[in-house]
Amino acid sequence: MVEYALILVLISIVVIVILITQGATMVNMYSNIACALKIGC
């Protein structure tokens, strides 16, 4: 059980690091998609 918890913690840390480093790029991409679909600009 402890091993599964450690794996989940490690995956969570990796996801958080990716979101922190790529966050602005992702927001820009979704913003461009929303503008292309005329949802909100």
pLDDT tens digits along 8-38: 999 999 999 998 999 889 889 999 999 999 8
With a CB cutoff of 8 Å and minimum separation 6, the contacts of 10 are: none
With a CB cutoff of 8 Å and minimum separation 6, the contacts of 31 are: 41
Task: Tell whether pTM > 0.85.
Answer: no
Question: Which 8-state DSSP code applies to residue 3?
Answer: H
pLDDT of residue 4: 96
- Please count the structural domains in the chain: 1
What is the span of the domain harbouring residue 7?
Answer: 1-41
Q: What are phi and psi of 38, to 5 degrees?
A: 60, 35
Question: Which 8-state DSSP code applies to residue 39?
Answer: S
Quote the distance between the C-alpha of residue 21 and its chain's center: 9
Whether 40 has a pLDDT exceeding 90, the answer reads: no
Whether 41 has a pLDDT exceeding 80, the answer reads: no
